[in-house]
């Protein structure tokens, strides 16, 4: 894998993309998918102060917010009216947010529409709830599942190598703790996504170790629904101002998506290109020739990439995603969170 990550000659990278796309077509066929979803970031107050994040503010900052239950209900109602099947819920790590907060949000989701799929709370949030409630992470996961949690985002992973984490997010949970919480979720029947954030201070060897960890978990639990590479959005971050790279090149973006396809194979068949991170046209390129089979979702509201300096907007209508997929030469299909096809076009 390290040798593939080291490829630099365009012809070699094009061969890599071709191999990844051939495998995608054998595993998935000619279908490109998307989900109608909404992001809900309920607070930007955060005690972690990660250097790559411009969304967070410290406690009591005048620019901070913590949505009230009424505001959360309004956003969920808007999502249902829009046709969302998934609501993706995450927030900062704040002492004002407790297990009760997470349970209340899930109860609101269930009350607004029992059919809505709450895809919520990263391993970092699960760890925070466990500490604040003096419970184990497994107990927290059981409580939240009973309250209506259906799946979890595999965010807070960044790079699952602790010497990197110490530099970019020193207050976050360790790689070992992330692995433990994700594995516990899978064993309790809560599927999760898998992510990587790349293009900052990590080495090729760090990326390889991260991918190896994801594969090992999947071999053990089978609980990952998709792999989502997240390119580092840099302009407004302290990490970049302190000397990190200005995000990955298009060559690096291409390689990591293609290598993920080849390395995970049928073990983890859904590889997503994030149009929020990459831009719609480059995500479309990877969908067409780079081994990718999914474009993510409609999002409706996106704060984290935008505050870091992201330039590709916060929302994309289903009709736009359908056109992107069609123009990539694939057959568009609307899916749910777990990759069940809801409608083909």
d(CA 66, CA 45): 7
Question: What is the model's pLDDT at position 323?
Answer: 97
Residues 58-94 have pLDDT tens digits of: 988 999 999 999 999 999 999 999 999 999 999 999 9
Q: How far from 275 is each of 18, 81, 200, 282, 325, CA to CA, in Å?
A: 21, 23, 19, 8, 12
pLDDT(227) > 70: yes
Question: What is the model's pLDDT at position 307?
Answer: 61
Question: What is the model's pLDDT at position 308?
Answer: 53
Question: What is the model's pLDDT at position 326?
Answer: 98
Residue 245 φ then ψ, to 5°:
-65, 155
Mean pLDDT of 115-123: 98
> Average pLDDT, whole number, for the chain?
95
**Both tokens of residue 193?**
């996504």
Q: How far from 265 is each of 21, 98, 137, 288, CA to CA, in Å?
A: 11, 39, 30, 18
| Residue with tokens 């993706």, as numbered in its chain | 88
Residue 333 φ then ψ, to 5°:
-150, 135
Nearest to 276 by CA among 164, 339, 168, 197: 197
Question: What is the model's pLDDT at position 74?
Answer: 97
pLDDT(43) > 70: yes
Nearest to 39 by CA among 316, 333, 320: 316
Q: Is-contact 272 278, C-beta < 8 A?
A: no
Strand partners, 38: 87
**Both tokens of residue 251?**
């060559």
Question: What is the model's pLDDT at position 310?
Answer: 47
Residues 296-329 have pLDDT tens digits of: 999 987 656 556 554 556 789 999 999 999 999 9
3-class secondary structure for the chain?
A: CHHHHCCCCHHHHHHHHHHHHHHHHHHCCCEEEEECEEEEECECECCCCCCCCCCCECCCCCCCCECCHHHHHHHHHHHHHHCCCEEEEECCCCCCCCHHHHHHHHHHHHHHCCCCEEEECCHHHHHHHHHHHCCCHHHHHHHHHHHCCCEECCCCCCCCCHHHHHHHCCCCCCHHHHHHHHHHHHHCCCCEEEEEEECCCCCHHHHHHHHHHHHHHHHHHCCEEEEEEEECCCCCCHHHHCCCCCCCCHHHHHHHHHHHHHHHHHHCCCEECCHHHHCHHHHHHHHHHCCCCEEEECCCCCCHHHHHCCCCCCCCCHHHHHHHHHHCCCEEEEECCCCCEEEEC
More confident position, 56 or 133:
133
Q: Flag whether 342 is in a domain.
A: no
Residue 193 φ then ψ, to 5°:
-85, 170
Q: Flag whether 256 is in a domain.
A: yes
Residues 151-207 have pLDDT tens digits of: 999 999 999 999 999 999 999 999 999 999 999 999 999 999 999 999 999 999 999
Quote the pTM value: 0.96
Domain count, the chain: 1
Question: What is the model's pLDDT at position 315?
Answer: 86
Question: What is the model's pLDDT at position 302?
Answer: 63
- For the chain, what percent of residues have pLDDT higher than 70? 96
Question: What is the model's pLDDT at position 301?
Answer: 75
- The domain that holds 137 is classified in CATH as 3.20.20.70
Q: Flag whether 182 is in a domain.
A: yes
Q: Which domain holds residue 260?
A: 2-337
Q: Flag whether 343 is in a domain.
A: no
Q: Give Dmax over CA atoms of the chain in angstroms.
A: 55
Q: Flag whether 83 is in a domain.
A: yes
Question: What is the model's pLDDT at position 311?
Answer: 54
**Cα angle 286-292-298, degrees, rounded to a multiple of 5:** 90
Q: Flag whether 245 is in a domain.
A: yes
Predicted confidence band of residue 48 (pLDDT cuts 50, 70, 90): very high
Q: CB neighbours (10 Å) of residue 103?
A: 17
Residues 234-290 have pLDDT tens digits of: 988 999 999 999 999 999 999 999 999 999 999 999 999 999 999 999 999 999 999
Q: Is 27 exposed, middle or buried (0-12, 13-18, 19+ CB in 10 A)?
A: middle
Q: Flag whether 344 is in a domain.
A: no
Q: Flag whether 20 is in a domain.
A: yes
């Amino acid at each position: 894998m390290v040798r593939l990550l080291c490829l630099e000659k365009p012809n070699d990278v094009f061969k890599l993309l071709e191999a990844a796309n051939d495998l995608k077509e054998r595993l998935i066929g000619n279908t490109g998918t998307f989900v109608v979803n909404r992001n809900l970031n309920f607070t930007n107050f955060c005690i972690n102060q990660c250097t790559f994040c411009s969304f967070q503010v410290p406690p009591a900052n005048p620019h901070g917010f913590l949505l009230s239950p009424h505001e959360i209900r309004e956003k969920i109602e808007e999502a249902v009216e829009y046709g969302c099947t998934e609501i993706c819920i995450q927030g900062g790590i704040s002492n004002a947010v407790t297990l009760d907060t997470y349970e209340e949000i899930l109860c609101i989701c269930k009350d607004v529409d029992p059919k809505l799929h709450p895809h919520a709370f990263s391993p970092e949030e699960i760890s925070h709830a466990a500490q604040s409630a003096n419970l184990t992470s497994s107990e927290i996961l059981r409580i939240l599942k009973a309250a209506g949690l259906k799946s979890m985002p595999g965010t807070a992973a960044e790079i699952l190598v602790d010497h990197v984490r110490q530099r970019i997010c020193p207050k976050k949970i360790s790689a070992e703790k992330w692995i433990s919480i994700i594995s516990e979720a899978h064993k309790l029947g809560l599927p999760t996504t898998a992510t990587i954030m790349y293009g900052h201070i990590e080495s090729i060897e760090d990326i390889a170790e991260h991918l190896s960890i994801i594969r090992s978990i999947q071999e053990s639990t089978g609980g990952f629904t998709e792999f989502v590479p997240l390119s580092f959005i840099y302009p407004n971050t302290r990490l970049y101002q302190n000397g990190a790279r200005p995000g990955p090149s298009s060559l690096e973006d291409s390689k990591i998506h293609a290598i993920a396809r080849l390395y995970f194979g049928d073990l983890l068949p859904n590889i997503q290109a994030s149009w929020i991170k990459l831009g719609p046209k480059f995500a479309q390129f990877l969908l067409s020739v780079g081994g990718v089979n999914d474009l993510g979702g409609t999002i409706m509201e996106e704060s984290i990439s935008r505050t870091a300096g992201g330039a590709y907007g916060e929302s994309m209508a289903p009709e736009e995603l359908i056109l992107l997929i069609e123009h990539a030469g694939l057959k568009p299909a609307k899916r749910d969170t777990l990759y069940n096809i809801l409608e083909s076009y």
